[in-house]
Amino acid sequence: MAEDRVCIGLITRPVGVVGCIKVQPYVLSPALLLEFRSVSLDDGTLLNISSARVDTGGGVVLRLDGYGDRNSVEPLRMQRLFVSKSAFPKLEADEYYLFELQDLEILGNDGNSIGHVIIAQDFGAGAFLEVRLSAGNILATIPFHRESVLEVDLSTKQIRIDEAFLIY
C-alpha cells in the first residue's frame, strides 16, 4: 500500500473552531491539494475532505468530514498526509511528476546503463535527479531539463541523459 502513495503534506495545526486543519504542502503548487477529495495518514486512516482552500501563507486549510471542532482535529497535528499516485491529475506529454522518476534506470550517451535515480527533487530553482552511478557506487546529480535529460520512457523505466551534465 505505501508504495502506491505519495506524501503531499504535513498537518501543522488546527484552524478555527469548526474542525479545520492547516497543511504545509509538499507539492510545488499548493492549489494541487484542492484536487483531492480524500487523503490518508501514515497508518492508512482515510480522511474525506469536505472543503479546501489555499491560505495567504502558502499553506492549505482543509475541513474534514466527521471532525466538527478544534479538539477533534488536535490529535492529527504533525501527521503526514498521503494520496494514491493514481489520484494525481493526468499530465501533458513530456511532463512528469517527480515521484515517477524515482528508481528509473539511467542510460548514458552510448545507451548503456550507468546507474539509477535515487530521488528527484525541486527546491524552487529547478528539478534535479540524484543518481547512484554503477561504476564505483558514486553519487551524482543532474539537472532535469531538456538539454541534460534527452528522453524519459516510463514504460521501460529508463532515462537517457547527456553525461556532460552530471555533477559529481
Q: What pTM, to 2 d.p., does this model score?
A: 0.78
Q: Write down the pLDDT at residue 1.
A: 44
Instruction: Indicate the fold that domain 2-87 takes in CATH.
Output: Elongation Factor Tu (Ef-tu); domain 3 (2.40.30)
| CB contact at 8 A, 163 and 114 | yes
3 state SS of 72 = helix
Note the pLDDT tens digit of each residue in 2-21: 578 999 999 999 999 999 99
Note the pLDDT tens digit of each residue in 19-51: 999 999 998 788 888 989 999 999 999 999 999
- The pLDDT-based confidence of 98 (bands split at 50, 70, 90) is very high
Residue ranges covered by each domain of the chain: 2-87, 98-165
Q: Write down the pLDDT at residue 61.
A: 96
Q: Is 2.30.30.240 the CATH classification of the domain at 98-165?
A: yes
Whole-number Cα distances in Å, 86 to 5, 113, 121, 133: 9, 29, 20, 30
